Amino acid sequence: MKNKILDAREKRKITIEKLAQNGAFLVCLKANTPGLNKTRFSSYLLLRIFHPILMEKWVVNHVHFYESADGPYLIYGLKYKDVNALKQAAIKIEESHFLGRLIDLDVYEKGELITRDSLHLPARTCMICGDYVHRCQRSQKHSLTEILTHIDDQLLIYNKAKLHEWIEFSVLSELNLHPKFGLVTPFSAGSHMDMNYQLMRESLYVLIPFFVDMFALAYRNPNSEDLFKQAQQIGILAEKAMYRKTRGINTYKGLIYVLGFVCLAYGLLLQSQQPFSMIFKHIETLAKDVLDDFNKDLQTAGGTAFKKYQIKGIRGEVFEGLPTLQKALTRFPNFNSQNTSNLHEILLFFMTHSKDTVALKRAGSYEVYQDFINLAKTIDPNDTDALHNFTQKCVRYGISFGGSADQLIVFHVLKYLEQFYHHPIIKKSLSIKE
């Protein structure tokens, strides 16, 4: 394997020399992965994180993605006035970004590597102890296991923070939408006399750490046989924390359920080089036994809907890998969270394409529920009067589409995850093998 790695490095050198013939400055982005396994999940994950950063920072003429025994890497051809300034900009990224020590940004002019030493700059320091790298390498100060654990820990910290940010923004985006078909908004309690905007916000911030914990659980234990059972315990704790905060009012119980599956599956996905669509396969696998819940005496809207109408609700959705959400992701590729008409359109899509057991329970009968669905199908999301009139009718009848609101939130989170994970250049199907 060692010889394959050395051969791969030589091929990369030849590739850089060929690409340099057009005169552009080149930057090679590669994960700093020790050991013989250079193609572990962290190598790909680091490229996913830094590629969009570089594309936004620099004017890129061309970019190529390669895979080799020495790990995956990207080569960028750049417009830049001065190669020394470019090298200093690359060093700034390496030293200022939270994960910068885990990557190498090598700069080339006419195929020749521009080193820190050539700019009279200090050598790179160790990602663990801060000493100079060459000293730690020479003394074998840190074991391979210690270094890899550090890399994984840093990636986990970073991804937990990003997930926290994405969930918070997604929930607030839905919560701030007005008017909203009997749901709580900043200006109305809708059909919920026991809820208000402030209560919803407060319960959100109680719950986010539990979602992040579910993600971390799967990230840390991708091969655990009782992963779902462990996640269930986190979900139970989340519900208890929610009820303590709200004094017994159910604000986001449905969201705990469905977004919990997504966070778990995302943790598994980051441990692979699989396409983003595999997140739904992971959800199917995790949810293989969820329909057994209907054999229990469920005192929930979903349990009642199944007993009366054989409607599986959100349990059926997760059991099948969230098919309605998958359709929504395909149907609304250009989602704009700042566009209220777009948010209304997607919320109406979930209301009319899935069985909202919360709305069904509040309707009192399937016939009344179906009347509201049929009316929702006629609503133009750009017609302000129609949105207000439909909302007023929902409030008069005590209808609230809480399950659809949960799906809108999860849709938004999935958009963030997809954008981060599925950047088109970081795809095996488009990679150049060495």
By the 8 A CB rule, do 47 and 130 touch? Answer: no
Q: Which amino acid is at 80?
A: Y
**pLDDT, average across residues 206-233:** 96
Per residue in 399-419, pLDDT (tens digit) is: 999 999 999 999 999 999 998
Give the number of C-alpha atoms closer than 13 A to the C-alpha of residue 397, restricted to the C-beta side. 20
Q: Does the bond joining 122 to the residue before it have cis omega, within 30 degrees of 0?
A: no
Q: What is the dihedral of CA 300, 301, 302, 308, to 10 degrees?
A: 110
DSSP letter at 22 equals G
Report the pLDDT value the prediction gives residue 125, as an integer from 0 to 100: 85
Task: Indicate the pLDDT class of residue 423, thresholds 50, 70 and 90.
Answer: low
Q: Is the pLDDT of residue 374 over 80?
A: yes
By the 8 A CB rule, do 379 and 348 touch? Answer: yes
Task: Indicate the pLDDT class of residue 302, thresholds 50, 70 and 90.
Answer: low
Task: Indicate the pLDDT class of residue 428, thresholds 50, 70 and 90.
Answer: very low
**pLDDT, average across residues 93-105:** 96
Strand 103-109 with 112-114, pairing: antiparallel
Q: Is the pLDDT of residue 432 over 60?
A: no
**pLDDT, average across residues 199-228:** 96
**Please, which residues have CB within 8 angstroms of residue 142's CB and are 6 or more apart in sequence?**
126, 128, 129, 136
Report the pLDDT value the prediction gives residue 77, as an integer from 0 to 100: 93
Report the pLDDT value the prediction gives residue 24, as an integer from 0 to 100: 82
Distance between CA atoms of 311 and 303, rounded to whole angstroms? 9
Distance between CA atoms of 294 and 431, rounded to whole angstroms? 46
Q: Which residue has the tokens 């095996």?
A: 428
Strand 25-31 with 59-67, pairing: unpaired
Report the pLDDT value the prediction gives residue 425, as an integer from 0 to 100: 63
**pLDDT, average across residues 14-31:** 91
Neighbour-count burial of 7, counting CB atoms closer than 10 A to its CB (0-12 exposed, 13-18 middle, 19+ buried): middle
Q: What percent of the chain has pLDDT over 70?
A: 95
Per residue in 242-286, pLDDT (tens digit) is: 999 999 999 999 999 999 999 999 999 998 878 899 999 999 999
Report the pLDDT value the prediction gives residue 430, as an integer from 0 to 100: 37
pTM score > 0.85 for this model? yes
Report the pLDDT value the prediction gives residue 297, as an integer from 0 to 100: 66
Cβ count within 10 A of residue 175: 19
Q: H/E/C letters for each residue in 363-401?
A: HCCHHHHHHHHHHHCCCCCCCHHHHHHHHHHHHHHCCCC
Report the pLDDT value the prediction gives residue 118, as an integer from 0 to 100: 86
Report the pLDDT value the prediction gives residue 308, as an integer from 0 to 100: 76
Q: Which amino acid is at 379?
A: I
Report the pLDDT value the prediction gives residue 2, as an integer from 0 to 100: 79
**pLDDT, average across residues 190-211:** 96
Distance between CA atoms of 293 and 141, rounded to whole angstroms? 52
Distance between CA atoms of 20 and 4, rounded to whole angstroms? 24
DSSP letter at 429 equals G
Give residue 91's Cα distance to chain centre. 28
Q: Is the pLDDT of residue 1 over 80?
A: no
Q: Mean pLDDT over all residues of the chain?
A: 91
Q: What percent of the chain has pLDDT over 90?
A: 76
**pLDDT, average across residues 22-33:** 92
Task: Indicate the pLDDT class of residue 208, thresholds 50, 70 and 90.
Answer: very high
Encoding tokens for residue 7?
A: 């051969």
Per residue in 46-89, pLDDT (tens digit) is: 999 999 999 999 999 889 999 999 999 999 999 888 999 999 99
